[in-house]
Amino acid sequence: MTMEGSTAPRRTRIQQEKRELILEAALEVFSVNGFRGSTIDQIAEAAGMSKPNLLYYFRRKEDIHETLMERLLETWLAPLRELDDIGDPMTELRSYIRRKLEMARDFPRESRLFANEIIQGAPRIMPLLEGELKTLVDEKAAVIRGWMRSGKIAKTDPYHLIFSIWATTQHYADFDVQVRAVLGSDRGGEGRFEDAARFLENLFIQGLLPKRD
């Protein structure tokens, strides 16, 4: 029998390694095909093990996805959590945009996994959206609104500001193939993230400059 700790089950070295291997493979598969479109066999093959062996570590397909989503949400919200009330508003927002774009560049599969879940109506993480996510956004929207009131940045809707930052940055992960196809081979290389960073910084900074009145 497997021993159980107070919160998480105790695992052997092999269990930890193999579970990581499976999650890595599952991320690859789920992020492309979505939950329904992915099969255990695909994941098992990507992880280099047999299906029954995979099912020894995760008893159901849903368990893999659930574990993946739990981890994802923390990583995904980290940049917004860092948005600091104390710092300079413009600097804070600029580095938030930068961090978000870096995540799109460095963790595109995570971004696509999240996008897949949302597009499908968020059947598995709806409570988290209405709970943890909404709370965090409400909190940060209040911070931004404070900046607006004190005249540090232009007055707009802080919620839609956050949405537009999410949308523009995640676009470079979720719609990567389209971006590359349109930019072509010459401009579609790694430099595209530099160009995007420059453009977005400019767009949002101009859009948020306080108006002298």
Residue with Cβ nearer DNA (3 or 86): 3
CA distance 75 to 25: 18
Query: In the numeric block, which tokens belong to residue 85?
Result: 């009330």
Q: How far is the CB of 141 from a copy of itself (least distance, A)?
A: 9
CA distance 38 to 21: 17
CA distance 80 to 57: 33
Query: In the numeric block, which tokens belong to residue 205?
Result: 């900074």
| Identified binder of a copy of itself from the candidate list 11, 19, 24, 32, rule CB under 8 A | 32
Residue with Cβ nearer DNA (46 or 161): 46
Site for a copy of itself contains 63 (CB under 8 A): no
CA distance 147 to 143: 7
Site for DNA contains 160 (CB under 7 A): no
| Identified binder of a copy of itself from the candidate list 1, 4, 6, 36, rule CB under 8 A | 36
Site for DNA contains 8 (CB under 7 A): no
Q: How far is the CB of 116 from a copy of itself (least distance, A)?
A: 6
CA distance 205 to 49: 49
Residue with Cβ nearer a copy of itself (35 or 107): 35
